[in-house]
Structure 1
Amino acid sequence: MWSYASHAWRHPRHKWTTRACVASAALLAGYEYDRHFQASAVSRTLRTFVDIAIICGDYKLNFRSERGIEHLNKIHERAARRLLLCCKENGGLFIKFGQSIAVQSSLLPPPFRKELSVLYDNAPSVPVSEIVPVIERGFPGRSLDDIFVDFSPEAVASASVAQVHTARLRSDPSRVVAVKVQKPEIKLQIGWDLFAFRACAHLIEFAFEVPIMWSVDEIERRLREELDFEREAGNSELASRDLDTLADRWLRRAVYVPKVYWEATSREVLTTEWVDGTSLVHPQKLATEGWSNKEIMQQMVALFAFQIFVAGNVHGDPHPGNLLIRQNPSNNHWREPQLVLLDHGLYVRESRQFRRQYAEFWRSAMIGNKKSMTRIAESWGISDAGMFSTMVSLKPPIMGAHHRSGVNADDGGESKRAYEQQMEVKRRTIAALRESSNLPPELVFVTRNMNIVRANNQSLGTPVNRVQILGQYAALGLRRMLIDEALSSDRRYSGAQGVRPSRDTLLSRVVGVLAGEWSYVTFRLALWAAGAGMAVYGVWARIWSAVTGVPRIRDLDGIMDEAMRSAMEKKLGYRIDTSLFTA
């Protein structure tokens, strides 16, 4: 009997059953270990590889011109839904990955914008019991109660990688603070997430010949910087110091950066002053509280124009959730808004050369100096200005007129035209991405800042002329740089030509100062002329609307959007959704 059982056990069928059982047990054990001790990092990575592979395979196999427009759109919808589901199920840094894709949705079909936009909503928070170990890990030998009093059991805000609680400092119980704590799973997941991000970038580049690997190192570096809260605290203090030392009195009064409490700050915990205010996420609430949209936007646009053109340290993520409005505490007589700037994790440090070039580019644009604009653009390696504008201003590209030649909707060529249009976007995107590796790294971050501010302005009804305010600070920043160079003690040294005594004469310094003043005066005159032209147009638009009953666009941003829409309709032959232009 025993001999028979032993013989049966050695039967090939039983061997495969045994192996299957062992493999299943090993997989189950690995899954449980990954879930409990690695925050599901491996599972999330495998899910990502599978989803990206399915999306790539769907496009490679099914994206064909003869299938028709509806078929092409369904492919985009399937890909966008799968990508959204992947980001939501993985959470953490994948929320940021999805948000980054959503920001560049103007380069992608509309379903991606529609689906991925939900990733900007508040992320779920984790229980306070899981947050306490993260805090205590950053302050060895001290418990939560040694640092804080009245630590709130529920998070007051939650994002992709961190959540915020209110508390009071043990060292000063009278002061309420905001405690931003990194979610515990992020530390375990970041290595796997960045590995998955890099691997998927390789796969996309291989499958579609889209050169994106050049940007991976920069994105990884920025993400790691955002996870260092001590660095964020330093950025916050730098922003405050810039306002104190470089801004005019009005801007110093109009903007506030909450104080950092370093004794309760670590790489995973950031403690700042708690500020009561109304977020720009709630424009209706701002209106009911009686705040002026025009004053709010003047402060906001001026702040970021100051950072871009004067200070050189630029907030990289000025979305409405990072901006609060409160009553200016130094004014007890009338309602005066004060802008409170939060979340300083992502900053870009502009080089002086880039800041000067960018200010000169704006001046050249305002005075109509196309030669200077071309020179600066070429120094940045830009050849396809249309697609470059799309990538940094987040607007849809204007297609070439050849899409309409020989193909029209009446002869059944609508599907082919739609396919060719999307193929042109791909071709031009590939070419522009190849050039982007040579762009100044500050440029994309700065233009992203400007376009998020532009979207904020539009969400409040476009109450200010954003271009005018940006131009004023560009003029001021360029003037300061030119005069500083003229008066600099090392002005007579040139990297290219060595010592140049002629540059150090009093006359040359006076000429340099006069050149700076001339640049400022001509720049401001051009801005004044542009403003006067817009004012005349605004009056004409009101008269036209009153006489004909047909509303006319009165703001510059709206005119630019309408011009883009009209141009694309003329080129492509169908109406587009102008909400694509909002970054």
Structure 2
Amino acid sequence: MWAHMSQVWRQHRWASRACVGSAGLFAAYEYDRHLQASAVARTLRTFADIVIICADYKLNFRAERGIEYLNMIHERAARRLLLCCKENGGLFIKFGQSIAVQSSLLPPPFRKELSVLYDNAPSVPVAEIAPVIERGFPGRTLDDIFVDFSPEAVASASVAQVHTARLRSDPSRVVAVKVQKPEIKLQIGWDLFAFRACAHLIEYAFEVPIMWSVEEVERRLREELDFEREAGNSELAGRDLDTLGDRWLRRAVYIPRVFWEATCREVLTTEWVDGTSLVHPQKLAAEGWSSKEIMQQMAALFAFQIFVAGNVHGDPHPGNMLVRQNPQNAYWREPQLVLLDHGLYVRESRAFRRQYAEFWRAAMLGNKQSMATIAAAWGISDAAMFSSMVSLKPPILGTYHGRSDKGGESRRAYEQQMEVKRRTIAALRESSRLPPELVFVTRNMNIVRANNQSLGTPVNRVQILGQYAALGLRRMLIDEALSSDRRYTGARGVLPSRDSLLSRVAGVVAGEWSYVTFRLALWAAGAGMAVYGVWARIWSAVTGTPRIKDLDGIMDEAMRRAIEKKLGYQLDTSLFNA
């Protein structure tokens, strides 16, 4: 009897423990879901998915599996990563977008699957964002600051959404109110912890050196969540245009005004501007806008920022630009480009800006020695792999040269991917020594390049970049020649000879000579392209073969052939055009 009672008691004890444990887990889940915006659950989901992806590669990525099976592994991993980003939302959307953009380091399925993350994210109701606004302005309610606040968001992204409203202090003025989503503040610490932990795991599992970049990524993400900083970036970009831009550029580009009285760290209020987004090129064409004029303005703006102002917009994708009728022209249709979303900027050092302009000059003049010297200073040795990385174009797996038997094909595909991995690891190690500005400037240039292609490549983007590189280099050389502190150098201190009138005149002459020779090289390149265009049209008509119409296309083809010859795989030069 006592034995029976003891057994019953033990069974009840385990049952009660199970009930208590279940209740505790349920309470923890509900607490996390309602009070922590599911931060812990999102982190655990992330760890689980990354561990599964790593295990899949470790256990199944084998040469004998065959090309189809190897590509299936990539597809499984990409789909799992996409699902993780979509379920988690918030900063994970940005993580996924970053992976999609830098797809040259990963197989094509990652680019294909993760590209859907650029679509609009779901918005949250006004009742949920009102506390965010009121938290930023203590003692004031949403109705104290705004009137006619739109009940629905007009745009929604991963971390914020935009509403239209009118300022209580000036009801005649329509404004755009960008509000950070309420869950972001609760999730950011956990999300960055998950990001760092997963980076550690990937580096450990695959020996890919990526931890050097984690701190920079975290810093940039935190900067993007500071809307006061974004407002400052916006005003600085406007001042650059006013003080350094030429008359045509100041007329061609507009940056909306910031209203600081309704702006805080989590709320940004700017002037509302009506216009057509570059996301809709067909609509722009239907409205009668010239794609050539639009692209000239865009290419000139970002070339100006890179080579003259030194303050560069880090995310110039089509959704961040509008086209409207220039309000300064009441007589005929004249497009004006409106630049939005100034959260991500990079401020170039003067040394980098000069190096980059000199690199472009050396490229135009065919001075390979100067190019190699600058590239070496940036720590670049594998130029082919570096070109693939900064051009944001992933390799197509399965294309090979050699044996055609199935076993040989599988071995060749495996060896190619392992070679890509080895070169990627080497390139990433070099990337840790690159000037940080170069990564963002390259990203800017490639997104502008993609915008040009989406509009049908109406302008010679390389010519426009070269013109502003020539102008920027000329200004820097002349400023240096006339600078009051020119007589000082970091290594040798005071050099009185550099303060002489003759030395300064020589510096000005060198700056002007650099500009003239640079522009002559650009003119020669333009003339060469014109001759090529005539010859290509004739050749195409005679042979029936398609012709490459622009310099970007020619450069794509040259790079594709070089990579294919060296590594045995092809580059898909159209993948980034979307």
Query: Could you tell me how far apart the structure 2 residues matched to 1:562 and 1:498 are?
Result: 49
Residues 51-91 of structure 1: CA distance to partner in whole angstroms, max 9, x if unpaired? 00000000000000000001001000000000000000000
Equivalent position of 2:177 in the other structure: 179
SS in 2 for 1:375: helix
Selected match of 2:208 from 207, 210, 214: 210
Residues 452-511 of structure 1: CA distance to partner in whole angstroms, max 9, x if unpaired? 000000000000000000000000000000000000001101110010000000000000
- Cα 1:398/1:148, change in 2 over 3 Å: closer
Query: Could you tell me how far apart the structure 1 residues matched to 2:329 and 2:543 are?
Result: 45
Equivalent position of 1:40 in the other structure: 38
Q: Is the 8 A contact 2:393 2:572 kept in 1?
A: no
Selected match of 1:153 from 128, 151, 154: 151
Equivalent position of 1:489 in the other structure: 484
Query: Could you tell me how far apart the structure 2 residues matched to 1:462 and 1:506 are?
Result: 47
Query: Could you tell me how far apart the structure 1 residues matched to 2:166 and 2:274 are?
Result: 15
Selected match of 2:423 from 421, 424, 428: 428
**AA at the equivalent of 1:73:** N
- How do 1:9-408 residues align onto structure 2 when only pairs under 5 Å count? 9-11=8-10, 13-396=11-394, 404=401, 407-408=402-403
Equivalent position of 1:561 in the other structure: 556
SS in 2 for 1:253: helix
Q: Is the 8 A contact 1:106 1:390 kept in 2?
A: yes
More off after superposition, 187-196 vs 436-445: 436-445
Equivalent position of 2:458 in the other structure: 463
Q: Residue 383 of structure 1: CA displacement?
A: 1.1
The TM-score normalised by the length of structure 1 is 0.96
- How many positions carry a matched residue from both structures? 577
**AA at the equivalent of 2:31:** Y
**AA at the equivalent of 1:76:** H
Q: Is the 8 A contact 2:123 2:156 kept in 1?
A: yes
Query: Could you tell me how far apart the structure 1 residues matched to 2:563 and 2:372 are?
Result: 24
Selected match of 2:470 from 471, 475, 480: 475
Query: Could you tell me how far apart the structure 1 residues matched to 2:214 and 2:68 are?
Result: 34
Q: Is the 8 A contact 1:298 1:464 kept in 2?
A: yes
The reply on whether 1:445 has 2:440 as its aligned counterpart is yes
- Cα 1:222/1:576, change in 2 over 3 Å: closer
SS in 1 for 2:574: helix
Query: Could you tell me how far apart the structure 2 residues matched to 1:92 and 1:344 are?
Result: 19
Q: Is the 8 A contact 1:154 1:165 kept in 2?
A: yes
- Cα 1:90/1:174, change in 2 over 3 Å: same
SS in 2 for 1:413: helix
SS in 1 for 2:171: strand
Q: Is the 8 A contact 1:322 1:343 kept in 2?
A: yes
Query: Could you tell me how far apart the structure 2 residues matched to 1:147 and 1:90 are?
Result: 32
**AA at the equivalent of 1:387:** M
Q: Is the 8 A contact 1:106 1:581 kept in 2?
A: no
**AA at the equivalent of 2:163:** H
**AA at the equivalent of 1:115:** E
Q: Residue 387 of structure 1: CA displacement?
A: 1.3
- Cα 1:504/1:173, change in 2 over 3 Å: same
Q: Is the 8 A contact 1:294 1:463 kept in 2?
A: yes
Query: Could you tell me how far apart the structure 2 residues matched to 1:540 and 1:278 are?
Result: 38
Q: Is the 8 A contact 2:228 2:268 kept in 1?
A: yes
Q: Residue 568 of structure 1: CA displacement?
A: 4.8
Q: Is the 8 A contact 1:364 1:370 kept in 2?
A: yes
Q: Is the 8 A contact 1:398 1:571 kept in 2?
A: no
SS in 2 for 1:166: strand
Q: Residue 545 of structure 1: CA displacement?
A: 3.0
- Cα 1:277/1:75, change in 2 over 3 Å: same
Query: Could you tell me how far apart the structure 1 residues matched to 2:565 and 2:480 are?
Result: 48
Q: Residue 580 of structure 1: CA displacement?
A: 2.9
**AA at the equivalent of 1:107:** L
Query: Could you tell me how far apart the structure 1 residues matched to 2:353 and 2:475 are?
Result: 11
Q: Residue 108 of structure 1: CA displacement?
A: 1.2
> Structure 2: which 5+ runs fail to align?
none
**AA at the equivalent of 1:388:** F
- Cα 1:348/1:175, change in 2 over 3 Å: same
- Cα 1:440/1:252, change in 2 over 3 Å: same
Residues 87-143 of structure 1: CA distance to partner in whole angstroms, max 9, x if unpaired? 000000000000000001122111111100000000010111101110111000111
Query: Could you tell me how far apart the structure 1 residues matched to 2:396 and 2:151 are?
Result: 52
Q: Residue 558 of structure 1: CA displacement?
A: 1.4
SS in 2 for 1:360: helix
Query: Could you tell me how far apart the structure 2 residues matched to 1:67 and 1:479 are?
Result: 57
Query: Could you tell me how far apart the structure 1 residues matched to 2:121 and 2:57 are?
Result: 30
Query: Could you tell me how far apart the structure 2 residues matched to 1:201 and 1:573 are?
Result: 30
Residues 522-578 of structure 1: CA distance to partner in whole angstroms, max 9, x if unpaired? 100000000100011111222233344433111011122233344455566676533
Query: Could you tell me how far apart the structure 1 residues matched to 2:99 and 2:331 are?
Result: 46
Equivalent position of 2:6 in the other structure: 7
Residues 370-390 of structure 1: CA distance to partner in whole angstroms, max 9, x if unpaired? 111111111111111111222
Q: Is the 8 A contact 1:66 1:415 kept in 2?
A: yes
Q: Is the 8 A contact 1:106 1:396 kept in 2?
A: yes
- Cα 1:204/1:574, change in 2 over 3 Å: closer
Query: Could you tell me how far apart the structure 1 residues matched to 2:380 and 2:276 are?
Result: 41
Query: Could you tell me how far apart the structure 2 residues matched to 1:411 and 1:188 are?
Result: 52
The TM-score normalised by the length of structure 2 is 0.97
Query: Could you tell me how far apart the structure 2 residues matched to 1:87 and 1:449 are?
Result: 24
Query: Could you tell me how far apart the structure 1 residues matched to 2:46 and 2:395 are?
Result: 30
Residues 17-63 of structure 1: CA distance to partner in whole angstroms, max 9, x if unpaired? 33222221111110000000000000000000000000000000000
More off after superposition, 539-548 vs 47-56: 539-548
SS in 2 for 1:10: helix
SS in 1 for 2:176: strand
Query: Could you tell me how far apart the structure 1 residues matched to 2:391 and 2:356 are?
Result: 14
**AA at the equivalent of 1:362:** W
CA RMSD of the aligned region, Å?
A: 1.8
SS in 1 for 2:57: helix
Equivalent position of 1:501 in the other structure: 496
